[in-house]
Amino acid sequence: MNHPISILGIAGSLRQGSYNRLALKAARQLTPQDARLEPFELDGIPGFNQDEEQNPPAKIVELKARVRAADAILFVTPEYNYSVPGVLKNAIDWASRPYGDSAWSGKPVAVMGASIGMTGTARAQYHLRQCFVFLNMYPLNQPEVMIANAAERFTEHGELTDENTRDHIRRLLEALVAWTRRLGSGKA
Ligand SMILES: Cc1cc2nc3c(=O)[nH]c(=O)nc-3n(C[C@H](O)[C@H](O)[C@H](O)COP(=O)(O)O)c2cc1C
């Protein structure tokens, strides 16, 4: 695999000033030169209905195509009630269906997340990692990027200025690119 690694970044928040969407934006600036990180926004995705899985909404058709075209996935998850926000889990569920046609299978994947609390989405990240088992994704174990006290790390203009956090994200992306090259492309 000599081509630039394409990473699809998905932040699990719809909020305008979302720290997780801002962290994904920062990650794009910190991506190694031999990789590209493109975001996919989750707005407009209806709640999963298995009656619709054979004929999913256009946004899900697009999501599955974008996942399949990517070499690797980066999830940037908030933590809601000690777990993964429904908006992210919902998108994961849609793109995993119908059975036998999951877009996620075989993809290298990394996780990071930002919360206003002190544990920096640790509990949500471990719940998300449990899903990777059945999704047959290949998670990068380390570094773990858990951005605690997020409100203190971004400026009022939404820039991630905390150098320690920027360094963690930079190292996560470097490790994801190396992991993806080691595994081979996750493209179907
Ligand atoms: C429904 C809900 C549940 C939350 N639960 C947690 C939680 O379990 N742990 C935590 O650290 N923060 C929790 N928070 C606070 C989030 O960390 C905070 O709202 C954060 O800004 C969400 O991410 P975002 O900025 O990307 O939207 C919760 C917020 C909401 C709205």
Query: 46 alpha carbon to ligand 1 midpoint, in Å?
Result: 21
Ligand 1 nearest atom to the CA of residue 17, by list position: 25
Distance 146 CA to ligand 1 centre (A): 13
Strand partners, 112: 76, 145
Q: Kindly list the domain boundaries of the chain, sorted by start residue.
A: 5-183
Ligand 1 pocket member 78 (CB < 6 A): yes
Instruction: Determine the atom of ligand 1 nearest the C-alpha atom of 12.
Output: 26
Those residues with Cβ within 8 angstroms of residue 161's Cβ, 6 or more apart along the chain or in another chain: 153, 154, 155
Q: How far is the CA of 156 from the centre of ligand 1 (A)?
A: 18
Work out which ligand 1 atom sits closest to the CA atom of 115.
17
pLDDT in tens, 90-133: 999 999 999 999 999 999 999 999 999 999 999 999 999 999 99
C-alpha 46/C-alpha 23 separation (Å) is 25
18 lines ligand 1 (CB under 6 A): yes
- pLDDT category at 185 given cuts 50, 70, 90 is low
Work out which ligand 1 atom sits closest to the CA atom of 83: 8
**Per residue, what are the HEC states of the chain?**
CCCCEEEEEEECCCCCCCHHHHHHHHHHHCCCCCEEEEEECCCCCCCCCHHHCCCCCHHHHHHHHHHHHCCEEEEECCCECCECCHHHHHHHHHHCCCCCCCCCCCCEEEEEEECCCCCCCHHHHHHHHHHHHHHCCEECCCCCEEECCHHHCECCCCCECCHHHHHHHHHHHHHHHHHHHHHCCCCC
Q: Count the alpha carbons within 13 Å of 102 in the hemisphere toward its beta carbon.
A: 17
**pLDDT tens track for 30-68:** 999 999 999 999 999 999 999 999 999 999 999 999 999
Whether 116 is in the pocket of ligand 1, judged by its Cβ within 6 Å, is: yes
- pTM of the predicted model as reported, rounded to 2 decimal places: 0.97
The first and second tokens of residue 25, run together, are 């934006």
Quote the CATH superfamily of domain 5-183: Flavodoxin domain (3.40.50.360)
